[in-house]
Structure 1
Amino acid sequence: MIYLWLLSWACINLSYAQQHYDYSECSANTSLPGSRYTCNSFRNSCNTFIVYRANTQFQTLSNITALFQINSNASNEVLHLNKLTSSSEILKSGREVLIPINCSCSGQFFQTNFSYTVPGNTTYSDIACGVFEGFLKPHTLSEENLSQENGVKVGSELNVPLRCACPDNISISEGVKYLLTYPFVEKDDLSLLCEKFGISLEDLCAANLVAPKPTVYPTTTFLIPLKSDPNIIFDITDLSPPPAPGFLPTISIKKTNKVNLKTLYIVGSVVGFTLLLVALLACGLYVKALRKWKGGRIQSFNTRSSTQVSFSTARSSPRSGQTGHSSANSYLSPDLLAGIKYSLSSYSMEDLKRATKNFGEDTKIGDQSFKGKIDNVEVMIKQVRFEDTRQVIDVNSKINHINIVSLHGVCYGDSDFSWSYVMFEFPTLGCLRGCLSNSSSLLNWQKRTQIAFDIATGLHYLHHCIFPTYAHMSVNTRNIFITSTWRAKLASIETNHAAGSSKGNDISASAKGWIAPEYLLNGSVSEKVDLFAFGVVLLELISGREDMDGKLFKECIGFLGGGGSEGGCFEQLRSFMDPCLKEDYPLAEALCLAVLAKACVEDDPLHRPSMDDIMKVLGRMV
Structure 2
Amino acid sequence: MNSLWFFIWVLNLGALRLISAQQSYDETGCDDVPFEPGSKYTCNTLMKSCQTYAVYRAQQNYQTISAISLLFDLNENDILQLNNITEPLQTLDAGREVLIPVICSCSVKHPLLSYRLEELKVATGDFGEASKIGKLVYRGRLNSSKVAIKQMGSREVRSVINILTKINHVNLARLLGVCYGRSEQNPTFLVFEFAERGSLRDQLSKYSRSFELEWGKRMRIAFDMAIGLHYIHHCITPSYVHMDISSENVLVTSDWRAKIANFKHAKRVTATEDGYSSTEIGGLVMCRKGCMAPELLRGMVSPKVDVFAFGVVLLELISARETTGEMLLRDSVGFLRGGESEEGCTEKLRSFMDPSLKGDYPVNEALFLALLAKACTEEDPFHRPTMNDIVKALSKMI
TM-score for the superposition, normalised by structure 1: 0.49
1:575 aligns with 2:387: no
Superposed CA offset, 1:465-521 (max 9, x none): 11110000010001001111111000012321112222256122x6444311111x1
2:309 is matched with 533
After superposition, residues 449-464 of structure 1 pair within 5 angstroms as 449-464=219-234
Change (3 A) 1:409 1:615: same
Asked if the contact 1:473/1:511 (under 8 Å) is kept, the reply is no
* Equivalent residue, structure 2, for 1:131: none
Measure the CA separation in 2 of the matches of 1:589 and 1:530.
22
1:544-601 deviations in Å (ceiling 9; x for gaps): 1111566252442111011012211111000000001000000011111101101111
Question: Which of residues 91, 96, 102 is equivalent to 1:331?
Answer: 96
Once the two structures are superposed, residues 72-111 of structure 1 have per-residue CA deviations (whole angstroms, 9 ceiling, x without a partner) of xxxxxxxxxxxxxxxxxxxxxxxxxxxxxxxxxxxxxxxx
Matched, 1:516 2:293: yes
Q: Determine if contact 1:498/1:525 at 8 Å carries over to the other structure.
A: no
The answer (yes or no) to whether the contact 2:311–2:373 under 8 Å persists in 1 is yes
Q: Residue 492 of structure 1 corresponds to which residue in structure 2?
A: 262
Partner-residue secondary structure (3-state), 1:429:
coil
C-alpha distance in 1, partners of 2:316/2:265? 23
The answer to whether residue 111 in structure 2 is matched with residue 343 in structure 1 is yes
Q: Secondary structure at the match of 1:594?
A: helix
Gap regions ≥5 residues in structure 1? 23-207, 218-289, 309-326
Residue 587 of structure 1 aligns with which residue?
Answer: 363
User: Residue 598 of structure 1: which of 374, 385, 388 is its match?
Assistant: 374
Aligned partners of 1:536 and 1:216: how far apart in 2? 37
* In 2: Cα distance, 1:21 partner to 1:514 partner: 26
Corresponding letter in the other structure for 1:553:
L
Identity of aligned residues (%): 44
The 2-side partners of 1:13 and 1:384 are apart by 42
Residue number in structure 2 paired with 1:502: 280
Aligned partners of 2:221 and 2:256 also within 8 Å: yes
Let me know the Cα RMSD of the aligned residues: 3.6
Q: CA deviation at 1:525?
A: 2.2
Question: 2: CA distance between counterparts of 1:329 and 1:10?
Answer: 59
TM-score normalised by length of structure 2: 0.75
Task: State yes or no: 1:300 paired with 2:298.
Answer: no
Q: Structure 2: how far apart are the matches of 1:536 and 1:507?
A: 18
8 A Cα contact 1:349 1:414, kept in partner: no
173, 189, 199: which one aligns with 1:405: 173
For the 8 Å contact 2:170–2:259, the answer to whether it is kept is yes
> Post-superposition shift, 1:450?
0.8
Pairwise CA distance, 1:336: 6.4
Per-residue CA distance 1:44-66 (angstroms, 9 max, x = gap): xxxxxxxxxxxxxxxxxxxxxxx
Displacement of 1:210 in angstroms is 2.8
CA contact (8 A) 1:462 1:469 kept: yes
**Alignment of structure 1 residues 143-158 onto 2, 5 Å:** none
Report if the CA contact (8 A) 1:385-1:418 is conserved.
no
**Greater relative CO (CA pairs within 8 A, separation 6+):** 2
Contact 2:312–2:330 (8 Å) recurs in 1 = no
Which residue number in structure 2 is paired with residue 282 of structure 1?
none
User: Unaligned stretches of 5+ in structure 2?
Assistant: 30-55, 73-91, 270-277
Equivalent residue for 1:419, pick from 171, 176, 187: 187
Deviation at 1:462, TM superposition (A): 0.4
Alignment check: 8 A CA contact 1:471 1:530 kept: yes
* Structure 1 SS opposite 2:394: helix
Q: Tell me which residue corresponds to 1:618.
A: 394
State how far apart, in whole Å, the 2-side matches of 1:438 and 1:413 are.
36
Structure number with larger C-alpha Rg: 1
CA distance in 2, matches of 1:362, 1:461: 35
Q: Name the CA distance, whole Å, in 2 between partners of 1:569 and 1:328.
A: 69
- 1:392 offset after TM fit, Å? 2.1
SS across alignment from 2:316? helix
Structure 1 residues 359 and 8, CA, compared in 2 at 3 Å: closer, same or farther? Answer: farther
Instruction: Label 1:621 to 1:302 Cα distance change in 2 as closer, same or farther (>3 A).
Output: same
Q: Which of 602, 607, 611 lines up with 2:383 in the alignment? A: 607
Determine whether 1:214 maps to 2:26.
Answer: yes
Q: What displacement does 1:360 show?
A: 2.2
For the residues of structure 2 that align with 1:338 and 1:466, how far apart are their CA atoms? 11
Asked whether the equivalents of residues 301 and 328 of structure 1 are also in contact (C-alpha less than 8 Å), the reply is no
> How far has the Cα of 1:436 moved from its partner?
1.1
State how 1:29-178 maps to structure 2 within 5 Å: none
SS, match of residue 343 in structure 2: helix
Q: Which residue in 2 is equivalent to 1:551?
A: 327
Aligned residue number for residue 151 of structure 2: 383
Task: State the one-letter code of the partner of 1:300.
Answer: T
